[in-house]
Structures are given as C-alpha cells and as structure tokens.
C-alpha cells in the first residue's frame, strides 16, 4: 500500500520556521512526510540575543544536538535565571532562578518553614539565599547540576545564544536531513474550494503547493491572520509595551550566568550575555515614553561600546484566537506575542512544535481532523493564559510610585485568575501548582517575594517541626548551599573550557 507523502510547507525562516523544520526532519518519516521551508533573504528576522528556558534542552535532545557544539556555534552561554532590577522599586533587585528554594520537609513546602521561622523571631537568612542557583548567580559561577549526586537545593539551567546563529545552525542541520529550502517571498495564497490553503505563489512566479501549512511568517501572520482571517485577541490593556530597541554591545567583564531585566521609566531593558558580545534591548510602551527617549535610555544603560545602531521592533501583546485553523497552523509571532520578560518566546515555539507533531494529519487521512485541532488549540490557550498571568504579576506588584507606566499597571483590573492567586499568597504563602510544571511553584515564589510581597500567614502543616529543630535545619541548609556554591567555578571559565570557539580552534589545530 503506497500513500503519497503529506506535503508540509513552512512559511518563514526565523527561529520558529527552522526549529519547526528541524523537528519535522528528525521526527517524521521522510517516506510519509515531505518538508519544504520558504524564506526570503529580503525579509529580516526579529532574532536578537535570545534567552531561553531549561526546556530547550529537551528540544535539543530530541534533535540529538551536541550541547557544546550548539553553544559554540551560537555563541551560547549558560543561564541560571533572570535578575529583575528595580521592578519592585528603584535600587532593589531579585533573582528568579531555574531551581528550588530550599527543600520539602515532611512533604511541606519550604516557604512555610521560612515564614514560620520569621514569625517566631528566628531571623532566618533571606529567602533567596536558600537557592543554589541564586547564590551561584551572585558569584557569576556556574556548574552543571548533575556534577554531584547530592545537592543542597535542586536547580536547572538554560542558555543565552544568538537567535540568528541558532536559526542558521538549525537551517544547516535541517537541510542536511532532507528539508527543502525555497528562496522567495510569498505574494499570493490560494485556497481550495473547501477553504483550505492549497498553493502559495512567490514573487518569482514559482508556485508551491502543499497539504499542511505552518505559518511562521512573524507578526504579519500571512496565512492564518491575513488569509484565513483568524482574529487577534488584544492583551495590551494588561501588557502595554509595544516597541523594543535592540542593540548589541561589546562583552563586558561582568559575564553573568543570568539574564538581567532592569525596569525603566517606560518599560524595561534586557541584557543577555553572549560569548562574543552582549545583547541589549529596551522594551517600552509608546503610551508612556517616546521612541527617542527610549533609544537614549537603552544606549545609556550599556556596559560596553555599542556595536552598530539600535534597531526598532514593533509588536503588541496578544494572540490569534485559533492558532490552528483548517490546514494551517501558526507558530511563533504569527500566533501571538508576549514580551520576552520571562524568556518564553522560544518555549512557546517549542511547545507548539511538539504538540503539532503529535496531532499532525497523516498521509492516509489528509483532511484536517477537528478533534485534534481542538486539542492543539486548547493546550495553546492554556499556556498563553498562564504565561500572561505570570507576566502581569511582575508589573502589578510594583512600588514605583509616580511613574505613569508603573502607576497604570499597578492600578488596572487584574484577570480574576491572578487576583485569586495573589490573595492566597497574601493570606498564607500559598502558590499555584500546575501539573506540567509551568510556571513552577518556585517561579511564583521568586517573583512574589521578589516583588516585595510578604504573606501574613503560613501553612500550619509546617508546625510539626519544633522551634529549635527548625532553626537548626534552616541554618544547616543555608550553610550547605553556600559551601557548595563557593566551590563552583566561574561561569566564564566553564564557558571557555566547554564551548568557546577559540578553545575549539586551539584543540583542532
């Protein structure tokens, strides 16, 4: 029985397009699926210095990509978390680590013991000092989490890298595995009589037909938005930032194993350390600050000489209400945008690709199965809403009084789901739990405590421990975290040894 392969056509060649193409090439049977990616050299991609979440390791493992090679080719560095400077109020900062605060004792979450110790007047060390990742960041240190079998507190890591280089890396990887690349700009999208996308016409006149289309065309959302007319749901009332200036600068001595996000009058500035330079950008809202002022703010914030002129990016927060409609599925900016405050851009892309691969039509049943479309869209909605709530949390709990943007975000009406979570934390230090671990309890704790919120009570399940024992256990854990972190090598040394290009060249010659 021979069935013709199902033709997958990916429109757009940024991170989303090439991640999708590479995953298809790795997972799908080439006898059953063909993969073509259309990209235009004339259309720039948004790719700048990219900060990621630990889940990207799973994606690279799926592709069986060697970590050191990947980091070398994308100028990658390690990331243990994100530092938020001035988000609560100017001069204050906190870290959101990829890892746990403390440990579960008797099955009870750590924050309750810490809160209890505080109420008992035991004067415990600051909450964030019970995280190995946070303390490693304070030293610019890094070590692979599995180096020792016993760790005082669990942590994971992600990467910073150059998104343009990552797309190039995946392009080579995917093309070597049978993905066809077609150069050209899509000028027309033709539907068939049922309303499915059928044929794309390029500027050159070339036509590309397919059975299943992945729209990775960026904000334009060429297929899903423009052609199939899927509506945009606007979230700018909650997340008002709509522009970013981006500029790289020379690498500075401060080689952090974390992303830095610094709150500014009209938004925030990111700082992403790469091997060859530092990526910077200023996300801001034109409702509260002009483009020129934002540009100056960005340039003034650099800790190295700017490499080139800042580029302006325009966006808006929100999403397409149906990321998959008919035989067209949008991934990346074509399906939605949330500002990169928690480095979720590639994570959203990765999740969409993983779900798509499981729910994709088969060559035998080419028609799109609405039952599977429904499941994809359900998962996507859930993820977008959870990330949205978590991002809003960073803004809403600020004490930057007198700055119009920050006054605005502090005062607007929150989604009920988030308001309820804030009340639960306020009353008793309770944080939400999601089965898929996203965002984790520890992430919520990092931001809630970091934004200066302090619960009035704690879970009484923590009362089982005697006062003296509680005091001793906290001090012991605190000391162990510090002892372990003190022995960690510096981030710059690990990167130089593990994945730097110069080391690689030396070794090769």
Partner 1 sequence: MINHVVIVGRDAPLWLSANVVQFALGPAGVTVTAVELPPHAQPADVCVTLPAIEPLHTRLRIDEGRLIAGTRGAFTLGRRFVDTGGRTPAFFHAHGSNGSRIDEKEFLPHWVRARRQGLDAPFEEFSLTAAAASAGRMLLPDAAIDRFGFTDYGYHLPAIPYAAWLRQVALRRGVRHHWTGHLDVRLEDHGGIAELLLEGDRRVSGDLFLDVTGAEALLMNALEIGRESWRDSFAVDRVMSAHAAPVSPVPIYSEIRAHARGWLAMVASQVCIHVQHAYSSDLAPGPAELAAAAGIPLQGVVVRERHPGRRQRAWEKNCVAIGDAACVFDPMHFVDLHAVQAGLVHLLPLFPVQHDFSVERDEYNQNVRSAFERLRDFQSAHYLLNRYGDSAFWARGRAVAPSAALAHKIDAFRARGECVDYEDEAFTIDEWQSLFIGHGVVPESCDPAVDRTTPDMLQGELARIRGFIRQKVGEQRTHADYLREVSQIGGRVSGA
Residues numbered 348 to 367 that lie near partner 1 (CB under 8 A) are 357-360, 362, 364-365
Query: Is the bond leading into 439 cis (omega within 30 degrees of zero)?
Result: yes
Catalytic choice (79, 227, 351, 421): 79
Nearer to partner 1 by C-beta: 148 or 423? 423
Residue 27 sits in the site that holds partner 1 (CB under 8 A) = yes
Q: What do you get for the CA distance between the two ends of the chain, in Å?
A: 53
Smallest distance from the beta carbon of 375 to partner 1, in angstroms? 5
**String of contacts with partner 1 for each residue 409-428, x by CB under 8 A:** -----------x--xx--xx
Q: Which is nearer to partner 1, 349 or 356 (CB)?
A: 356
Rounded to 5 degrees, what are φ and ψ at 323?
-65, -20
What are the angstrom distances between the C-alpha of 289 and each of 78, 156, 318? 33, 37, 21
Size of the site for partner 1 (CB under 8 A): 35
- Which residues partner with 191 through β-bridges? 197
Nearer to partner 1, 137 or 462 (CB): 462
Dist. CA 8–CA 425, nearest whole Å: 46
CB of 55 to partner 1, least distance (A): 17
Binding of residue 467 to partner 1 (CB under 8 A)? no
Strand 277-284 with 158-162, pairing: unpaired
Q: What gap in Å lies between CA 370 and CA 194, rounded to an integer?
A: 14
Residue of the chain from 203, 378, 399, 505 that contacts partner 1 (CB under 8 A): 378
Q: Is 32 in the site for partner 1 (CB under 8 A)?
A: yes
Provide the 8-state DSSP code for 285.
-
Does residue 459 bind partner 1 (CB under 8 A)? Answer: yes
The nearer residue to partner 1, 27 or 313, going by C-beta atoms, is: 27
Cα–Cα distance measured from residue 103 to residue 108, given in angstroms and rounded to the nearest whole number: 9
385 makes contact with partner 1 (CB under 8 A): no
The residue written with tokens 């929150």 in the block is 414
Q: How many Å apart are CA 74 and CA 415, to the nearest integer?
A: 38
Closer Cβ to partner 1, 292 or 364, answer by number: 364
Output the smallest distance, CB 464 to partner 1, in A: 4
Q: Distance between CA 174 and CA 27 in Å, rounded?
A: 11
| Alpha carbon distance 210, 6 (integer Å) | 8
Sheet (strand 336-337) strand order: 232-234, 318-320, 336-337
Q: Which of 369, 469, 476, 483 binds partner 1 (CB under 8 A)?
A: 369
- Which one of 66, 464, 467, 472 is in contact with partner 1 (CB under 8 A)? 464
Residue 305 or 371: the one with the smaller Cβ distance to partner 1 is 371
* Nearer to partner 1 among residue 161 and residue 439 (C-beta): 439
Residue 435 a catalytic site member:
no
Out of 47, 54, 156, 457, which residue is the one contacting partner 1 (CB under 8 A)?
457
**For helices 15-27 and 163-175, angle between their N-to-C axes, nearest 10 degrees:** 30
2 part of the interface to partner 1, by CB under 8 A: no
Contacts of residue 243, Cβ cutoff 8 Å, sequence gap at least 6? 283, 284, 285, 286, 291, 294, 312, 313, 314, 315
Task: Check binding of 454 to partner 1 (CB under 8 A).
Answer: no
Q: List, by residue number, the catalytic residues.
A: 79
- Binding residues for partner 1, rule: CB under 8 A, are 27-29, 32-33, 107, 357-360, 362, 364-365, 369, 371-372, 374-375, 378, 420, 423-424, 427-428, 430, 434-435, 456-461, 463-464
């Amino acid at each position: 029985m021979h069935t013709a392969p199902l033709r997958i056509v990916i429109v757009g060649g940024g991170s989303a397009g090439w991640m999708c193409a590479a995953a298809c090439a790795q997972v799908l049977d080439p006898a059953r699926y063909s993969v073509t990616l259309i990209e235009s050299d004339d259309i720039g991609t948004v790719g700048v210095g990219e900060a990621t979440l630990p889940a990207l390791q799973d994606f690279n493992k799926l592709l069986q990509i060697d970590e050191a090679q990947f980091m070398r080719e994308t100028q990658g560095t390690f990331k243990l978390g994100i530092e938020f400077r001035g988000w609560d109020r100017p001069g204050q900062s906190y870290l959101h680590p990829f890892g746990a605060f403390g440990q579960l004792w008797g099955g009870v979450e750590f924050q309750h013991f810490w809160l209890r110790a505080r109420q008992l007047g035991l004067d415990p060390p600051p909450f964030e000092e019970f995280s190995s990742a946070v303390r490693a960041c304070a030293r610019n240190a890094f070590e692979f989490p599995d180096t020792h079998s016993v760790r005082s507190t669990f942590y994971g890591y992600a990467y910073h890298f150059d998104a343009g280089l990552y797309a190039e890396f995946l392009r080579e990887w995917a093309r070597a595995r049978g993905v066809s690349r077609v150069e050209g700009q899509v000028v027309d999208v033709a539907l068939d009589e049922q309303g499915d996308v059928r044929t794309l016409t390029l500027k050159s006149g070339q036509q590309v037909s397919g059975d299943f289309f992945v729209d990775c065309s960026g904000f334009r959302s060429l297929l899903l938005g423009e052609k199939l007319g899927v509506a945009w749901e606007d979230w700018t009332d909650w997340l008002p930032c709509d522009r970013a200036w981006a500029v790289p600068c020379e690498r500075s001595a401060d080689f952090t194993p974390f992303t830095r996000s610094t709150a500014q009058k009209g938004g925030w500035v990111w700082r992403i350390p790469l091997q060859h330079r530092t990526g910077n950008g200023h996300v801001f809202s034109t409702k509260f600050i002009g483009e020129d002022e934002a540009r100056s703010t960005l340039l003034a914030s650099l800790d190295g000489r700017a490499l080139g002129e800042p580029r302006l990016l325009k966006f808006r927060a929100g999403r397409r209400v149906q990321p998959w409609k008919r035989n067209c599925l949008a991934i990346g900016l074509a399906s939605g945008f949330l500002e990169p405050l928690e480095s979720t851009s590639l994570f959203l892309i990765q999740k969409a690709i993983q779900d798509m691969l499981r729910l994709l039509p088969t060559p035998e049943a080419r028609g799109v199965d609405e039952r599977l479309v429904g499941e994809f869209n359900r998962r996507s909605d859930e993820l977008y809403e959870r990330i949205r709530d978590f991002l809003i949390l960073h803004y809403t709990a600020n004490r930057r009084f007198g700055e119009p943007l920050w006054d605005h975000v502090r005062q607007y009406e929150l989604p009920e789901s988030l308001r309820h979570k804030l009340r639960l934390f306020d009353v008793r230090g309770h944080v939400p739990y999601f089965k898929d671990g996203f965002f984790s309890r520890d992430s919520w704790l990092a931001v809630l405590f970091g934004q200066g919120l302090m619960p009035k009570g704690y879970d009484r399940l923590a009362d089982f421990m005697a006062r003296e024992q509680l005091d001793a256990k906290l001090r012991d854990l605190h000391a162990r975290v510090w002892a372990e972190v003190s022995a960690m090598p510096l981030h710059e040394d690990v990167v130089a040894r593990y994945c730097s290009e110069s080391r690689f060249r030396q070794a090769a010659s």
